[in-house]
Amino acid sequence: MLALVFTSLKVVNMEQTILSGAGLGLRRDFIHEISNHFPDSVSFLEVAPENWMQRNDSAVALFEALTDKHHFVCHGLSLSIGSPDPLDVNFVKQVKQFLDKHQILFYSEHLSFCSAKGHLYDLMPIPFTQTAADYVVERIRQVQDILERPLVLENVSYYTPLASELTELEFTNYILENSGAKLLLDVNNVYVNSVNHQYDANTFIRSLPTDKIVYGHIAGHYNEAEDLIIDTHGADIIDPVWQLLRYAYQCHGVFPTLLERDFNIPPMADLVREVEQIKEVQNSVVLKHA
């Protein structure tokens, strides 16, 4: 089990013992291949529940067979936790049924919103204000009451300057502290935002609460310009992001980490190679501090 505790590392959230190692986002593009030959290096899989709840086809049957054999987490797309619209309670209840049916403990979502009197078809950042933070905290509590489990929130990439009453870090930590939610630490999003908004990525990582981290994401991105990076999940992970992941492990202990790849999906062998690289970083940090 990689979620170990050493004297020179901070204590890792005990809920991580349910997950360990390196994961992969499951896509329909390769569900047949991974069902026929499941890679030894993949410790857990992740799906968006919206893509599976209302479907009834051969891919769903393969998905259900995989859930019987492997650990899964869910990463949602449409909860819209920061939306000005009323919370979609029926949707949250459907998610709970899906989680219970497939015995999936962790449901993560984006600390953002994607609806306001209609779907926006993008993940919009929530203004960094105290009023917005308190509003989101109350909505998270409502979601958690329905789910009967903590909501896991991902720090998101954003491109438009927001109201600066609070910093991104202050906003995120306040919500985690006051809502009971957990954290999905997306290391690539921290890197992207640090370039786009000119802050120190190491300081941001270091200042997050260790006991809130359930698992992490790592992904590739697109360099639009020297001072503008687009979070695409459509490219290989670059070395500075690998280094930031290593730093996150050094700060918070080794936590389960998942590779995201949403388009320009390469052959399975290439995906597995990056999953194995996650494990190599995890092992090197563990060995260094053993």
For the stretch 47-90, pLDDT in tens is 999 999 988 888 999 999 999 999 999 999 999 999 999 999 99
Domain limits, the chain: 14-289
What percent of the chain lies above the pLDDT cut of 90? 78
Q: Which pLDDT does position 9 carry in this prediction?
A: 37
For the stretch 219-249, pLDDT in tens is 988 777 777 788 888 789 999 999 999 999 9
Q: Which pLDDT does position 12 carry in this prediction?
A: 42
Task: For domain 14-289, give the fold.
Answer: TIM Barrel (3.20.20)
pLDDT for residue 1 is more than 70: no
Q: Which pLDDT does position 123 carry in this prediction?
A: 80
SS (H, E, C) the chain: CCCCCCCCCCCCCHHHHHCCCEEEECCHHHHHHHHHCCCCCCCEEEECHHHCCCCCCHHHHHHHHHHHHCEEEEECCCCCCCCCCCCCHHHHHHHHHHHHHCCCCCEEEECCEEECCCEEEEEECCCCCHHHHHHHHHHHHHHHHHHCCCEEEECCCCCCCCCCCCCHHHHHHHHHHHHCCEEEEEHHHHHHHHHHCCCCHHHHHHCCCHHHEEEEEECCCEEEECCEEECCCCCCCCHHHHHHHHHHHHHHCCCCEEECCCCCCCCHHHHHHHHHHHHHHHHHHHHHHC
pLDDT for residue 8 is more than 60: no
pTM value is 0.91
18-26 average pLDDT score: 95
